[in-house]
Structure 1
Amino acid sequence: MRVVLTGGGTGGHIYPALAIAEQLKADKPDTEFLYIGGKRGLENSIVPTAGLPFETLDITGFRRSLSADNLKTVLRFLRGVQASSELLEKFKPDVVVGTGGYVCGPVVYAAHKLRIPTLIHEQNAIPGLTNRFLSRYVNTVAVSFDGTQDQFPKARRVMYSGNPRATTVHRADSAEGFRLLGLPAGTPIVLVVGGSIGAKAVNEAMLEMVPEIGRMPRVHYVYVTGKRYYEDAKRSLDEAPGGTPANLHVLPYVDRMPEVLAASMLVVSRAGASFLAEVTSLGIPAVLIPSPNVTNNHQEVNARALEEEGAAIVILERELNGSRLFSAVEAVVSDDYLRENMSACSSALGKPDSAKTIVTELRKLAVRAQAIRRGVL
């Protein structure tokens, strides 16, 4: 089977695509891949490291207000469709998969024009502009949140799949997480993370909270600042009275997040859809601080979906401070009954078989297309 993957801009679009590739490869080691990304996104460093053949397009997104830049975007889209068509005709994929980001637009649209089976995956509870546009052209739309299928009224087929990143993380070994952190197995860990580059508001609240964490000395905090904020955070802690507490790990980034997640009893984070899929696949309670700086406020919608099911506590950024954050963390950590119930609710939302569900759909699309070409259907 030959598969083109496309998705870019952020890890939330890239890692689900890589999870699908991982599942395809696990099922059929001879599967061949081509990943098409944008020239400016994180995929430029992440995808080659994963060992997949990689091509790029020069593509940007539309501005939501009237702008001359939108004309340039249209021209880039048209050139992107042409470039994508050339790549697809050369690679000859059996199926094309888009996982979000502007680069998916020309690639998936070109595949539609070439009559190649297509599937797009939407990670968020509110779909992005590119996926809304593509939904009328693709064979299948897969969604991460059950109940959001009606967000794609013009799609031929919409299926609830969960987020394929959940499959990758569900396999993670908690013992390896404790080893990576240099902590004894079973240590109660609270993981605080604001994303790969970090989140200013989360960092400020965490630094305000640090004087309080001595009240729970048996709990170890793993504080992932993001690379942008690491030096400032370290300086603030070093200059504080008493320095960095013994029960606090401060890291700029975690390369093997699935293992660290698997070792954690509570997660404090933003509410990106892929990360929430990881959290629920492991059944981890969460304190969520959705970013207000995203399209359609989709992170709050993501977070509320977990809150409504009892899996998370939501703190809006405008309400966030060190005291409020510590109160939420303390409430979960100190109450076994609450924590166990939140964990059960989180697990109920998890879809650890998500990647396999999507791969099964891809194989059906490829088989059907082959049958049509042969005149069987």
Structure 2
Amino acid sequence: MRVVLAGGGTAGHIEPGLALADALRREDPGVQVICLGTERGLETRLVPQRGYELALIPPVPLPRTLTPRLLTVPGRLAGAINTAAAVLDRVQADVLVGFGGYVATPGYLAARRRKVPIIVHEANPRPGLANRLGARFTEHVAVAAPDTPLPHAEVLGIPLRREIATLDRLAMGDKARAHFGLRSDLPTLLVFGGSQGARSLNRALTATVDSLRAAGIQILHIVGPKNASEPEVTPDDPAYIMLPYCDRMDLAYAAADFAMCRAGAMTCAEMTAVGLPAAYVPLPIGNGEQRLNAEPIVAGNGGLLVEDAELTADWIRANVLPVLSDAERVAQMSEAAARMGRRDADVALAAMVNRVVAAERMNTGA
């Protein structure tokens, strides 16, 4: 089977595709997976690291809305579609799976031109331009949120890396804390803001460290590589571990009792999959999708929600500290978060891919 994945730019578009690729490879080591990307995105690093081929197409600036002008394929978009079509031809693709982002639009249009079956995966409650377009060309649409407004939507969740999807936080807790130099007998707060960190989270936490430590709470703080020198806290304090970046988020999740983080779709999916409750701080830009990601978790008692502008040291002391000081409440919130998580979305999406390819081969007699 020959599968082309289209979803580049951010980790939120790339990681679900790579999780699907891993699931397909586990089922059939002979599967051929090619990822479309551009030279500007994180895919230039992430895709080769995971052992998959990356085919580059020209980056194309797109409008934010579906317009007739977009569908007439002007200028640079035409070149990107032609390049994507050439990739489909070269590998004799059986299916194209798109995850949104600027790479997916030329991928969808090229697949439609070549009559290659299309599968759309949408991680957010509010679909972006690319997936709204792609969903017009197919009946095979996978979504993470039940009310996502796309036709033919089937709720599958978000494919996650296996080290996250299979994580047993309780069994790995002591080992994970030892890995970071944390004590095994203290409640642990994990603070992170995505791969680049989040300055508002960093500032609010830094102003609260003394209060948390006085309450017997230890902190694992991933500040982001650009913010490594920001917090003015003693770096060798065993109750406060600061890292610029963490390449073992599975261990970070296992070490923690509670987290404070952004509310991207991947983050929410990972937190609920591993059953880690959190205080979600939605990114204050965009179309409000991060708040939509977190709201069902909070409504289900699996987390707290605070606006970025309202996140202060006082808010942390009034809301996060009491949770971490109450082991029973932490356990209840962990169970609530876990009830909302899905660990098998990679397998479910791989099954959809297999169904679509099998049906196409039957229809064409291939």
CA gap of 1:111–1:64, structure 2 versus 1, over 3 A, is closer
**What's the offset of the Cα at 1:10?**
1.0
- Written as runs of structure 1 = structure 2, the 5 A alignment for 1:222-371 is 222-233=220-231, 236-238=232-234, 245-294=237-286, 296-371=287-362
- Written as runs of structure 1 = structure 2, the 5 A alignment for 1:68-217 is 74-148=74-148, 151-152=149-150, 155=151, 157-165=152-160, 168-172=163-167, 174=169, 175=172, 177-183=176-182, 188-217=187-216
Calculate the TM-score normalised by the size of structure 2: 0.92
Unaligned ranges ≥5, structure 1: none
Deviates more, 1:273-282 or 1:177-186: 177-186
**What's the offset of the Cα at 1:325?**
1.9
The answer to whether the 8 A contact 1:167-1:353 is kept is: no
Report the identity percentage: 30
**Structure 2: distance between partners of 1:367 and 1:257:** 36
The answer to whether the 8 A contact 2:276-2:337 is kept is: yes
**Structure 1: distance between partners of 2:28 and 2:183:** 38
**Structure 1: distance between partners of 2:163 and 2:112:** 29
**What's the offset of the Cα at 1:301?**
1.1
Deviates more, 1:253-262 or 1:356-365: 253-262
For each residue in 1:45-79, what CA deviation from the matched residue of structure 2 results, as whole angstroms up to 9, or x when unmatched? 111111111111122343559xxxx99x9422211
Deviates more, 1:312-321 or 1:253-262: 253-262
Aligned residues: 357
**Structure 2: distance between partners of 1:161 and 1:135:** 16
For each residue in 1:214-267, what CA deviation from the matched residue of structure 2 results, as whole angstroms up to 9, or x when unmatched? 2232x321100011111223xx225xxxx7643011001101112221332111
- Considering only aligned residues, what root-mean-square deviation do their CA atoms show, in Å? 2.1
**What's the offset of the Cα at 1:97?**
1.1
Structure 2 partner of 1:372: 363
**What's the offset of the Cα at 1:282?**
0.6
The answer to whether the 8 A contact 1:285-1:339 is kept is: yes
Structure 1 partner of 2:218: 220
**Structure 1: distance between partners of 2:115 and 2:186:** 53
**What's the offset of the Cα at 1:348?**
1.1
**What's the offset of the Cα at 1:188?**
3.3
CA gap of 1:313–1:88, structure 2 versus 1, over 3 A, is same
**Structure 2: distance between partners of 1:109 and 1:328:** 48
The answer to whether the 8 A contact 2:187-2:256 is kept is: yes
Paired letter, 2:158: N
Which SS does the other structure have where 1:191 is aligned?
strand
Paired letter, 1:304: E
**Structure 2: distance between partners of 1:59 and 1:311:** 39
CA gap of 1:331–1:158, structure 2 versus 1, over 3 A, is same
Which SS does the other structure have where 1:355 is aligned?
helix
Unaligned ranges ≥5, structure 2: none
**What's the offset of the Cα at 1:167?**
5.0
**What's the offset of the Cα at 1:186?**
6.4
CA gap of 1:22–1:124, structure 2 versus 1, over 3 A, is same
